[in-house]
């Protein structure tokens, strides 16, 4: 009797069940391979901390530049767009109400999983910026934060002066090591997002003015 029931089952219903099983298996394989990609970077060597830039300000003139989150955010993403050169795993940075938000995605086998990282900015004594991880979300997956950061460090195209520290769950932005035209030198002075108060020290060599 059971065989007769199967024989009388509509073809569309049998095809639906078959495709559902195939889709479930495919999703399981993609998830497994994604997890492997996330955890493989754990065997890569830890990144070296950036060396503190040696800068002599005696031959430069110092200026203080005040700005807003909107202006700095536009500058950051213009730089990212230029450096990525239409990379498929592009990302964006948004200066939020009280934190820095990095949005992007992880692409594995044609499946793109949205990524969102919230970071708390801390100005360093030498003028660099330390971004301490506050929250990470990777789609609906629950993965260790350091594993996600290691994936980003391995597969995302980042400037040389940006170092990801997965063990400390932080990102070090060596602003003082940025290569600017005319040997300009910049340092972060204030990065107060809640009050929209961002200021930077800009050192311009005196020979730029013919001095």
pLDDT of residue 37: 55
Q: Is the pLDDT higher at 207 or at 204?
A: 204
What is the rounded CA–CA span in Å between residue 161 and residue 163? Answer: 6
What is the rounded CA–CA span in Å between residue 13 and residue 128? Answer: 62
pLDDT of residue 67: 93
What is the rounded CA–CA span in Å between residue 102 and residue 114? Answer: 11
Residue whose token pair is 């807003």: 68
What is the rounded CA–CA span in Å between residue 49 and residue 138? Answer: 26
Each residue's pLDDT tens digit, 103-131: 888 776 677 788 899 999 999 999 999 99
Residues in the chain: 211
Each residue's pLDDT tens digit, 60-83: 888 999 999 999 999 888 888 877
State the CB neighbour count (10 A cutoff) for residue 19.
10
CA distances from 4 to 7, 9, 12, 27, 40 (A): 5, 9, 17, 32, 50
Residue whose token pair is 């730029």: 208
**Using 50, 70 and 90 to split pLDDT, how confident is the model at 42?**
very low
**Mean pLDDT along residues 48-68:** 74
Displacement of CA 104 from its chain's centroid (Å): 7
Q: Is the pLDDT higher at 50 or at 205?
A: 205
Each residue's pLDDT tens digit, 15-27: 666 666 666 665 6
Count the helices and strands in the chain (H runs, E runs): 4, 9
What is the rounded CA–CA span in Å between residue 175 and residue 54? Answer: 13
């Amino acid at each position: 009797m059971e065989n007769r029931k199967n024989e009388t089952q509509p073809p569309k219903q049998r095809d639906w069940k078959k495709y559902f099983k195939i889709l479930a298996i495919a999703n399981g394989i993609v998830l497994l391979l994604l997890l492997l990609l996330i955890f493989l970077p754990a065997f890569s060597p830890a990144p070296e901390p950036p060396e503190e830039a040696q800068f002599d300000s005696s031959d430069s003139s110092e200026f203080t530049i005040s700005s807003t989150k909107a202006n700095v955010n536009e500058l950051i993403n213009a730089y990212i767009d230029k450096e990525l050169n239409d990379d498929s795993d592009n990302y964006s940075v948004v200066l939020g109400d009280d934190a820095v938000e990095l949005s992007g995605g992880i692409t594995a086998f044609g499946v793109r999983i949205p990524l969102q990282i919230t970071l708390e900015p801390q100005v360093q004594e030498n003028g660099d910026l330390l971004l301490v991880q506050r929250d990470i979300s990777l789609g609906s997956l629950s993965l260790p934060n350091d594993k996600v950061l290691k994936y980003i460090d391995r597969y995302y195209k980042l400037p040389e002066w940006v170092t990801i520290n997965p063990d400390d769950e932080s990102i070090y932005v060596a602003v003082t090591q940025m290569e600017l035209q005319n040997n300009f030198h910049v340092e972060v002075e204030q990065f107060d997002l809640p009050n929209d108060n961002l200021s930077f020290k800009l050192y311009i060599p005196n020979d730029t003015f013919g001095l």
